[in-house]
Amino acid sequence: VRAEIVSVGTELLLGQIVDTNAAWLAERLAPLGIDLYWISQVGDNLGRLTEVFERALRRSDLTIVTGGLGPTEDDLTREAIAAVLGEQMTVVPELEADLRAFFARRGVPMPARNIKQATIIPSGRPLRNPIGTAPGWWVERDDHVIVAMPGVPHEMRRMWQEEVLPILRQRMGTAAIVSRTLKVLGPGESAVEEMLQHLLASPNPTVATYAKPDGVHVRVTAKGSSDDEARALVAAMEAEVRAALGHHIYGVDDETIAEVVSRLLLERDLTVATIEAASGGMLASVIAEAALSAQVYRGGLIVGASGLAPLGAAEFGARDGHDTTSAAAAALLARVARERFGADLGLAITGAPGPTASGETPPGTVHVAMAWHGEPHVNTQQHRTTPTEVRRRAAMAALNLVRRTLLESATRA
């Protein structure tokens, strides 16, 4: 199946928004066995829209359109599809009732122009939009399919999952598709690909890697004649991926490293505190994103010019003759975090995220320390990227250090 994506909206051509819908959809087509050959962005102009849809009908089996389904005169996706197919739009009473109910729930009258959101053409059928006013269209003529969805990302994503994906699966003869993402921290993408070399060519399940801000994602996707069969295929492949990557895998699907670490701490009735001398609150911010963290997080200090004085702790600063950016300083900070916040574990980050060196520490070098029992663990990292990215990676490394240490202590116990 040859597919293309068309994103509609003049704001895309003015650079006011970035087309994230296309990338989101693109990522989901390959696992369905659908080959995506073209993506295009086009403005709210009937002539150009019609031209783009005509070409799509000629060259693609499946055209996925997002945007242009709003109620205004600028929203022309429906009109262009109808024009290309030479069909008439008519109001569907049930859609109109849905639409009026939507406005009634919000306590506002429905503007007259919204009625066009309740229309369909003879070759089409509506796709439900439970969270917005724009239903989608599934249009089919002569073995060509056009799917039109709203441009608002969360409406589009929900319509894709609930309405479009089930039909596409059936069409693709894949009764079931199951995907699972294994998330990796530690090795980089090329190292992960090397470790998975023997699996990357597998046709079913497929195994693909993606470099993301929270590590490397390994996506395993299987097709099967039933959900159970696809799930079993994924499980078997997951076992192989796990055999190859082992403890480098920190989580699955939507799990974050902060959630995983918070859960591990909670299970053991442990708490954590942070002191950041080089990451400026990045570590605390990442932890705060995990709902569970409220139960395990004792608090954190961002070290500024006042050093550790606000904690009533030892002097800490260049004036006192310390190299506050050294590995030894990281170990000290981790111990102070543990003691002053009354936490079981203390985490600390120091160093020189850049762009300039700090003291003797070259730019891009950060030390990540964890204090628990005995001497603190310290990891030193050297990155060649922006200071913000160095801070983010240091925060990820700090959480991964906790995860690895807790898992190892469990194995030993």
Binding site residues, its own copies, CB under 8 A:
12-20, 22-30, 36-43, 45, 48, 208, 210, 271, 273-274, 276, 279-285, 287-289, 294-295, 297-307, 309-312, 340-343, 387-388, 391
CA-atom Rg of the chain in angstroms: 27
Nearer to its own copies, 111 or 122 (CB): 111
Nearer to its own copies, 186 or 307 (CB): 307
Contact in structure between 6 and 21 (CB atoms under 8 Å): no
Using DSSP, state whether 412 is helix, strand or coil: helix
Contact in structure between 301 and 275 (CB atoms under 8 Å): yes
Nearer to its own copies, 129 or 279 (CB): 279
Smallest gap from Cβ 267 to its own copies, in A, equals 17
**Could you tell me how far CA 132 lies from the centroid of its own chain?**
23
Smallest gap from Cβ 351 to its own copies, in A, equals 13
Apex CA 355: angle with CA 351 and CA 356, to 5°?
Answer: 70
Nearer to its own copies, 41 or 123 (CB): 41
Nearer to its own copies, 90 or 161 (CB): 161
Smallest gap from Cβ 276 to its own copies, in A, equals 8
Smallest gap from Cβ 17 to its own copies, in A, equals 7
End-to-end CA distance of the chain: 53
**Distance from C-alpha of 139 to C-alpha of 137, rounded to nearest angstrom:** 6
Listing DSSP states for 120-171 in one string gives E-TTEEEE--TTSS--EEEEEETTEEEEEE-SSHHHHHHHIIIIIHHHHHHH
**Cβ neighbours of residue 15 closer than 8 Å, sequence gap 6 or more:** none
Contact in structure between 127 and 149 (CB atoms under 8 Å): yes
Smallest gap from Cβ 387 to its own copies, in A, equals 8
Smallest gap from Cβ 273 to its own copies, in A, equals 7
Nearer to its own copies, 92 or 302 (CB): 302
